[in-house]
Amino acid sequence: MNKKIPLFSVVILLVLAVVVTFNVTYLTINEKHNKAINDVLSGYSFFDKLLDLHDFACENYVGEMKDEDVVDAMIKGYLEGLGDPYAQYLTAEEYAAFQNEQGGNAVGIGINVITDSEAKTIEIISVIPESPAEVAGLCGGDFIVAVDGTSVAEIGYYAAVNLIAGEKDTSVTLTVRRGEEELTVTCVRQEIKTQSVSYHVFADDHTVGVIRISEFNGTTPDQFKEAVETLKEQGCKKFVFDLRYNPGGELNSILSVLDYLLPEGPLAHIFYQSGSEKHYDSDASYLDAPMAVLINRQTASAAELFASSIRDYAKEGQCEAVLVGVKTYGKGVLQTYYRFKDGSAFKISVGRYDPPYGENYDGMGVLPDIEVELSEEASKINFNKLTDKNDNQLIAAIHALADQA
């Protein structure tokens, strides 16, 4: 039996969607927004086509109409119509998961993985210390071939990864290949503190510390500072910050890291569509050491702000730093999330952020000081498995640091 949605309910939902769109976080509703809302409310001409469609569907659609599906699709369509490439709608479940991840927490078993496309398995790159995976005995180099009896080769990498994730305190059973041996391992999912920072002493020069930042979330600043201090204790006097494939993340996270690295001065300038501005500054303490920043085409958003801010200070003679790699993605606009009462949310672009002294790089990207493409040989290797011996971009960054000495 078809479930008809009252026409009045659709109108109200549509009106509410428009109202909240103009009431995005950080925006003060101005005269232009008020006029737009008034135009919508007078006569509902904005909705003519949609209402015609709804009337026809109620009378003629052979399937079942679900309120939540119609509303979700309506909001997604509106956001798509804005033309904002970064606009997104999240269900309540998706938004809750996103918030956990941004806070540096996620429910899972604590493994970092990549796909092994040839063998059609999930390869474990590393295991987070004290995680359910470590407790269960999993380790880097293991291959997951099945999840709860379902073959990874049959359902594919992403579907299998989703199966491994789940609710806290529930169990997942993995079939694991380790060398010639096949094991069955059961893990109990728990909240995991994500590792956004990894580090090591460069193999051929123990005065250089290499720190990779995979994203900027709530745990990144503490992890980053710990990495720098640990490497300094191990004798490192120069640093490479690897931001390749870093998509960005939380603004507060990157500002905290930049404040730790850079001397007193501006860090970022935020200009909102509403006309308001925010300006962020660094204090006087800083990391007094030569730095190189590795970037590539997938270095984006807040990660680009990191690279451009450090280069700005280098140009001003306030630090020793060089950018190595290839031009970045080119995203210099800021998004914000608005949460609906049911827990779902949407995000749209509300402003732009400029580096300390340079120009906004949106649509253009950040150019390196030393341009180095990843070699053909290295490009054939999974990025997570590159080493100090075969990563030619990293080696170029090391040489650039030596030239600064």
Q: What pLDDT tens digit does each residue of the chain (405 aa) get?
A: 445 555 445 444 444 444 444 444 434 444 554 455 445 544 555 677 888 888 888 889 898 888 788 888 888 888 989 999 888 898 888 888 778 777 766 788 988 887 776 778 998 877 888 889 999 999 888 999 999 999 999 988 878 888 898 888 999 999 999 989 999 999 999 988 778 899 999 999 999 999 999 889 889 999 999 999 999 999 999 999 999 989 888 899 999 999 999 999 999 999 999 899 999 999 999 999 999 999 999 899 999 999 999 999 999 999 999 999 999 999 999 999 999 999 999 999 999 989 999 889 999 999 999 999 999 999 988 788 899 999 999 999 999 998 876
- First-residue to last-residue Cα distance in the chain: 77
pTM over 0.85: no
pLDDT at position 116 is 72
Q: Which residue has the tokens 């269900």?
A: 91
pLDDT at position 42 is 45
| CA dihedral of residues 175, 177, 183, 186 (deg, nearest 10) | -40
Name the phi and psi angles at 166, rounded to 5.
175, -165
Gap between the Cα atoms of 27 and 397, Å rounded: 42
